[in-house]
Amino acid sequence: MAAPVELLKQVPLFKNVPEKQLKTIAASFSDRNFREGQELTAEGGGAAGFFVIESGEAVVTVEGEQRRTLGPGDYYGEIALIDGGTRTATITASRDGVAYGLTPWQFRPLVEEHAEIAWPLLEAMAARTRELESRH
């Protein structure tokens, strides 16, 4: 099932993507149900893609230390869309929920076919990089 466009509008990565292109991106997402206690990603593991949480809750830990809690509208794995690198945190569901996912092999052809998507995404990635760098 495609991701709701309204949900994607909450994600800074897609903030400046025009509505028409956002609908195209949303159609490429698929839903994923998760259960309390389920590990959604494992620190150091392979990156399977980008996810936006529609409902439920998950806890983010790095080296066993809890960093934050994710809920509706939160997302993770945006860097994986670009580089496919390893996960930098473990994310474990603390309440049942639904997330929408997009893999790099779905995302790359979208950007290649719809070049107008690329610039807003690059701007958002640059802003996210600056935000993360300012935390260190």
Q: What is the pTM of this model?
A: 0.82
pLDDT digits (tens, 9 = 90+) for 30-42: 999 999 999 999 8
pLDDT at 123: 82
**Residues of the chain where predicted confidence (pLDDT) is lower than 70:** 47, 136
Domain count of the chain? 1
Q: What is the pLDDT of residue 136?
A: 62
Q: Say what the pLDDT of residue 56 is.
A: 97
- pLDDT score recorded for residue 109: 87
* pLDDT score at 14: 82
CATH label of the domain that carries residue 91: 2.60.120.10
Domain that holds residue 54: 5-134
Phi-psi region of 40 (alpha: psi -120 to 50; beta: other; left: phi over 0): alpha
- CB count in 10 Å sphere of residue 77: 23
